[in-house]
């Protein structure tokens, strides 16, 4: 069919019929110049996926506010939820400490998140992002953050994603060591 279309084009322009070699070269030139098929961008995470993740966290076996869930489950869901709602990078979320996330209840419940030293922060000024509460949503970032702070406890002051420090070093808080006695 393409060969017939090329022959027809030659006839319209009153050129002599193309040889097989010319037809093939014209076809390849056409394929090379054709616009590539544009793919639709797919988001890596959607509101539906976030809702399912939060449903996993708030199962009855984890308690009313998910306070009996594991640290891994909490930090993963909280980090992904914050990345989604702030459009932040993994490296930005990992650098957050408790003092960088501020809950304010007036005029409406929201979080102020202060990002410092990000990839695009050329002058080390930092940036502040405000995340509003979605009271009807199960994946509300404000409610999730309040519950996460309860899970971590009032005395916790370290990174909010505990085992992921930004410098790729072990956590500054040492793990408890067990001394072995020799008999």
Are 62 and 107 in the same domain? yes
**Number of Cβ within a 10 Å radius of residue 36:** 5
Compute the distance between CA of residue 145 and CA of residue 123 in angstroms, rounded to an integer: 29
Domain presence at residue 95: yes
Q: Do 144 and 73 sit in the same domain of this protein? A: yes
Residues 104 and 24 in one domain: no
Query: What is the domain extent for residue 116?
Result: 47-152
For the domain that residue 104 is a member of, what is the CATH number? 1.10.443.10
Query: What is the per-residue pLDDT across 11-48, written as a single tens digit (0 to 9) for each?
Result: 777 777 777 777 777 777 776 666 666 666 666 788 88
Same domain, 51 and 135: yes
| Average pLDDT for 146-159 | 86
Q: What's the length of the chain?
A: 183
Number of domains in the chain: 2
Residues 143 and 64 in one domain: yes
Rounded CA separation 99/54 (Å): 24
CA distance 71 to 74: 5
Mean pLDDT computed over 46-60: 87
| Residues 10 and 51 reside in one and the same domain | no
Supply the pTM of this predicted model.
0.62
- Look at residue 169 and tell me if it is in a domain: no
Q: Are residues 102 and 23 in the same domain?
A: no
Quick one: which of 117, 93, 81, 101 has its CA closest to 149?
101
- How far is the C-alpha of 160 from the C-alpha of 182, rounded, in Å? 39
Same domain, 100 and 69: yes
Q: What is the pLDDT of residues 74-125, one digit of tens each?
A: 888 999 999 888 888 888 888 888 888 899 988 888 999 988 877 777 777 7
Q: Does residue 14 sit in the same domain as residue 94?
A: no
Q: HSE, CB side, 13 Å, CA atoms: give it for residue 97.
A: 10
Do 7 and 77 have their domain in common?
no
Are 62 and 142 members of one domain? yes
71 and 143 fall within a common domain:
yes
């Amino acid at each position: 069919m393409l060969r017939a279309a090329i022959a027809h084009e030659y006839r319209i322009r009153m050129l002599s019929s193309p040889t097989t070699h010319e037809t093939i070269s014209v076809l390849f030139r056409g394929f090379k110049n054709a616009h590539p098929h544009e793919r639709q961008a797919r988001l890596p995470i959607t509101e539906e996926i976030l809702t399912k993740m939060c449903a996993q966290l708030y199962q009855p076996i984890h308690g009313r506010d998910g306070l009996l869930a594991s640290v891994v489950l909490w930090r993963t869901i909280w980090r992904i939820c914050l990345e989604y709602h702030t459009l932040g990078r993994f490296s930005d979320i990992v650098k957050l400490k408790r003092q960088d996330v501020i809950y304010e209840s007036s005029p409406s419940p929201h979080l102020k998140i202060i990002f410092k030293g990000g990839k695009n922060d050329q002058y080390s000024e930092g940036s502040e992002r405000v995340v509003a509460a979605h009271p009807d949503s199960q994946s509300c970032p404000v409610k999730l953050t309040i519950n996460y702070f309860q899970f971590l406890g009032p005395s916790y002051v370290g990174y909010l994603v505990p085992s992921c420090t930004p410098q790729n070093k072990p956590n500054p808080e040492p793990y408890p060591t067990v001394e072995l006695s020799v008999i």
